[in-house]
Amino acid sequence: MAAAAAKSTDHEQSEIERWKIRRTVKQLSQMKGRGTSLITLTIPSNGQVSRTIKLLTEELGTASCIKSSQTRNNVKQAITTAQARLSLYSQRTLPKNGLVIYAGIAQDDDQNKEKKVSISFEPLQPLTNSLYRCDNHFITDFLHQQLNESQVVYGIIVVDGNGALFARLENTRALVLQKFNVDLPKKHGRGGQSQLRFERLRKESIHNYLRKVAEACTSNFISKETGLVNIDKGFIVAGSANLKHELINGDLMNVKIKTKIQRVVDVQYGAENGLQEAIKLCSDLFTDLKLANDRKELDDFFTLIRLSNDPENQQYCIGVDETMSLLNSAPGIIDRILLWENLEMKRYVYRTKQQEHIIIADNEQKALEKLFVLMNENENKNDVECVDAQNLVEWFTENYKDLNLNVVLVSNYTQEGQQFQLGFGGCVAMLRYPIPSSTFDPITTQTNEDQDSVICDYDM
């Protein structure tokens, strides 16, 4: 049990790191600089740190020749920032996958403000080349490629008497590649001279149908350029009748696909419903897929709700409001938090002369409205200072260890994920032990009938 728990925690940490990199890459891709003042620097694990330090020193000297004073100053500041980041590492402490550094002065979304960028991290996969680029944008193509290449892919074939479906099961989604329907002749129940002829025609129709299915398997799962299977993990063949066995036991299917079939399963339905059923039946194969792990986490939570027999005590809380209030009032009681990975809520920290207010809201206007309702008569609105505004999911990924809880980031690519996002607000918590449901009663008045924000107070 202990080993399983440790493995689960390692997987969660890996998904959190992947989410951080994906979010960072997205933000970097959208940034623009004034002139060529944004620096991208990469060093593979076997690269020479001393050589890179020398390169930056030379580039700093070259930057003095830039005619535009604004561009010259921005480039110099970016190089100095990159040098400061690089100074945190030595040849011995270079990460095993190498190091990526982004530095410079980027324009904010409204194009009127500028912000300093200073980021360094280890990529998901080993770097093979060194890179130094000073441009009006950051170079992120290789990181996008790493995020895409790290996708684990299965192939799923659903075939029955009504039609066939072909899908790729990727890390976060099931992508339908092709599907078609068929109208096969039914078994002829009458005797007489025509019985054999009807049976022969039926077998011919089935044979032609299976040939079409086999050809579709080849066109969807065999690369035209290389002639190789484009599915790295293997295939699941599902269906409600004997047709799936006729397909894989006959000589119509490409042998390259046959040799990679991992499981054949019976499903009650065809098409998309059969696809979802096949994924559930083979969930033990998909432990390396985020989609399957998301579904398991959500199923565990839904089961916890169904098994809660005592309405006066519950071992879970639902929504951002309940979760954050409980985190504030009873630290240590939350075991794990499930968050929709694209939850657009922010954690605002406001400071007055008397105290500090932490407000969770989806935008600053709502946060300020809540703050002004909360402030007492001795606090002046003009003294309010916003000292921090951070995405709530990002805040949890940075602080979950200090909070002594586990964080699970969930997508909405599955039916369960969509239900979680829309029906539960994209945030739930599972507790270490049951608590009275009355614990959450004050929350409705505290949030002032607005479910988009929650308030926490901390004395200075």
pLDDT tens, position by position, 296-338:
899 999 999 888 777 677 899 999 999 999 998 888 899 999 9
Question: What one-character-per-residue DSSP string does 5-35 give?
Answer: HHHHHHHHHHHHHHHHHHHHHHHHHT--EEE
66 and 141 in a single domain? The answer is yes
The pLDDT value given to residue 393: 97
- Report if residue 413 sits inside a domain: yes
Q: What is the CATH number of the domain that holds 323?
A: 3.30.1330.30
CA-closest candidate to residue 275, choices 265, 285, 284: 265
DSSP category for residue 264: E
End residue of a domain, out of 287, 309, 328: 287
For the entire predicted model, the pTM comes to: 0.77
223 and 176 in a single domain? The answer is yes
237 and 318 in a single domain? The answer is no
- Report if residue 6 sits inside a domain: no
Domain count, the chain: 3
313 and 451 in a single domain? The answer is yes
The mean-pLDDT minimum among 107-121, 126-140, 298-312, 432-446 falls in 432-446
90 and 42 in a single domain? The answer is yes
To the nearest 10 degrees (0 to 180), the angle between helices 392-399 and 2-29 is: 140
State the residue range of the domain holding 373.
299-459
pLDDT tens, position by position, 99-115:
999 999 998 765 567 88
329 and 430 in a single domain? The answer is yes
pLDDT band of 192, cuts 50, 70, 90:
low
CA dist 226 and 367 (Å) reads 56
- Report if residue 8 sits inside a domain: no
